[in-house]
Amino acid sequence: MENGVEVTGRYSVTERAKPLPKRSGFTLIELLVALTVVALLAAVAYPAYQDQMRKGRRAAAQAFLMDVASRQQQYLLDARTYAIGDGAITALSLAVPADVSPFYAVAVTPAVATVPPTYQIVATPIASSAQSPDGVLALNQDGNRTRAGNAGW
């Protein structure tokens, strides 16, 4: 016995009775479970996000087609014909917006004037873009709208 404490071996009896301090932090299993939950949430959320982005880009293209159609009506009053062909959008003092041009190629057809005057504005998805499964958007002088050959947008 030393100083009133019984000594056995290297440690005293009172020192053995002390609990070991708890370690803080995450175990590997807890970390893997958390990563799995995050991965599952991302797997569900990302396709929904992409779908919403595609719808937003489609809406921007549709709004541009409506703008072109409005300008076509004004042009008809001034020139007694519609602006058609490759330079039609430029003749209407328009430019394809930056949020539409990377995803759609916009054209005004027919290439030559018709009697009575007609036009069709076509927004074709660019093949390598995210809009490629969307289908062709079209709007004509009568206001008929189609998407991928189906009536309506």
Which domain does 130 fall in, by range? 25-151
**The pLDDT value given to residue 153:** 85
Q: Tell me, yes or no, whether 10 lies in a domain.
A: no
pLDDT at 12: 56
pLDDT at 21: 75
Query: Does 13 map to a domain?
Result: no
Rounded to whole angstroms, how far apart are CA atoms 82 and 87? 12
Model pTM?
0.75
pLDDT at 111: 82
What's residue 23's pLDDT?
76
| Inside any domain, residue 67 | yes
Evaluated on CA atoms 26, 31, 34, 38, the torsion sign reads positive
In this prediction, residue 148 carries a pLDDT of 92
**16, part of any domain:** no
Determine the straight-line distance between the first and last CA of the chain, rounded to whole angstroms.
93
Q: Is 1 a member of any domain?
A: no
pLDDT at 67: 97
Residue 87: CB partners within 8 Å, gap ≥ 6? none
Q: Which domain CATH number covers 80?
A: 3.30.540
Q: Is residue 98 part of a domain?
A: yes
Residue 87 in any domain: the answer is yes
**Average pLDDT for runs of 10 along the chain of length 153:** 58 61 84 96 95 96 97 95 94 96 96 89 94 94 94 89
In a domain, 7, yes or no: no
In the chain, the number of structural domains is 1
Cβ-contact 130, 57 below 8 angstroms? yes
